[in-house]
Amino acid sequence: MIDQVREFLGSLEIGLPTVVDIALTALLIYSFFLLIRGTRALRLVFGLIILYLFYVAAQFLGLQLLSQILQTGAVIGLLAIVVIFQPELRRALDRIGRMGTLRWLAPTPAGVIERVASEVAKAAGALGAAGHGALVVIERRTPLGDIAETGVPLNADLTAELLTTIFVPKSELHDRAVVVRGEIILAAGALLPMPETMAAGRRGTRHRAAQGITEQTDAIAVVVSEETGAISVAERGRIERIPDVERLVTRLEELLHEGAPMSAWGSLRLERLQGPTGLRPPLRRRGAEPQAQRR
């Protein structure tokens, strides 16, 4: 048996093109599963694999009727896959586009992730204790400029005090979302897309909006329930309940480091001087000290 295996391996002509071909194929498959990890698409992929195994078994056993039905269904299934995997396909094309611009090579600024997580968590804790609802969307790799344009442009420094002020009940901006890019609040009162799954209908409006934006992009959404004060984090369409502020800080840091979101964050200070595309010029600071500005 061992000799036969050796003869088979010896008969194979494995050159450099073959190795590159196998490596690229493996990388493509791995990237695909990494893209759909933690989403409803993963179960659909396993369902398609099971159907394909049924087709192979039908061909092997000579079941002509079943094979014909599966072949006909495969033609229709190709169109259905485009519809079913629309969010994943959009995310994949967006990643390919970012690789073409080489922005993903930019390093993450030191301390930015920790500060963003700390400020957002501090605001969420204060809002939850006061019984005020909130929805904060943190941009990672997928640009959220089009989402920010649906709200009121701020282009202001990210602080817990400003976030808690925005979500004061009965204010003009508290019902919708705040969009955060790095240490900058791009806009408040932004309108988010609703989720595509029917199960999301049992949740509140903020939680559904958080699920919708995280299904269609790789952003992170922090939700504070107005009814219970509970804090949740949405990522990849999944909503996770967070018990306290300390755990929220840890979880946000994990997600931000995992997604390596800060590819464009290093140029935010220059962007604030020039004014981001489609948004109002930056707010002027009246005081020289940051603490004076917060007051």
275: pLDDT strictly greater than 50 = no
Give the separation between CA 183 and CA 162, rounded to whole angstroms: 12
Question: Could you tell me the domains of the chain?
Answer: 2-103 (no CATH), 108-283 (3.40.1700.10)
Instruction: Specify the pairing of strand 134-138 against strand 177-181.
Output: parallel
Helix H or strand E encompassing 233: strand 231-235
Beta-carbon contacts of residue 213 (< 8 Å; ≥ 6 apart): 137, 147, 177, 192, 193, 219, 221, 234
pLDDT of 190 reads: 92
Mean pLDDT of 89-115: 63
Residue with tokens 């590819």: 263
| pLDDT tens per residue across span 105-163 | 455 565 888 899 999 999 999 999 999 999 999 998 878 888 888 999 999 999 999 99
DSSP string, 237-272: TEEEEE-SHHHHHHHHHHHHHHH--GGGGGGHHHHH
pLDDT of 160 reads: 93
| pLDDT tens per residue across span 11-38 | 666 677 778 888 888 888 887 776 666 5
Mean pLDDT for the chain overall: 76
pLDDT of 287 reads: 41
**Residue 218 DSSP SS3:** coil
DSSP 275: -
Give the separation between CA 271 and CA 9, rounded to whole angstroms: 58
* 166 phi, psi to nearest 5 deg: -60, -40
pLDDT-based confidence at residue 193 (cuts at 50, 70, 90):
confident
**Contact (CB, 8 A) for 190 and 164:** no
pLDDT-based confidence at residue 221 (cuts at 50, 70, 90):
very high
Letter for the amino acid at 34? Answer: L
| Other beta carbons within 10 Å of 31 | 11
| pLDDT tens per residue across span 51-80 | 888 888 888 888 888 888 888 877 777 777
Q: Is the dihedral of CA 111, 116, 117, 119 positive or negative?
A: positive
**pLDDT more than 70, % of the chain:** 67
**Contact (CB, 8 A) for 178 and 220:** no
Mean pLDDT of 235-240: 88
| pLDDT tens per residue across span 194-220 | 886 545 446 788 999 999 898 888 899
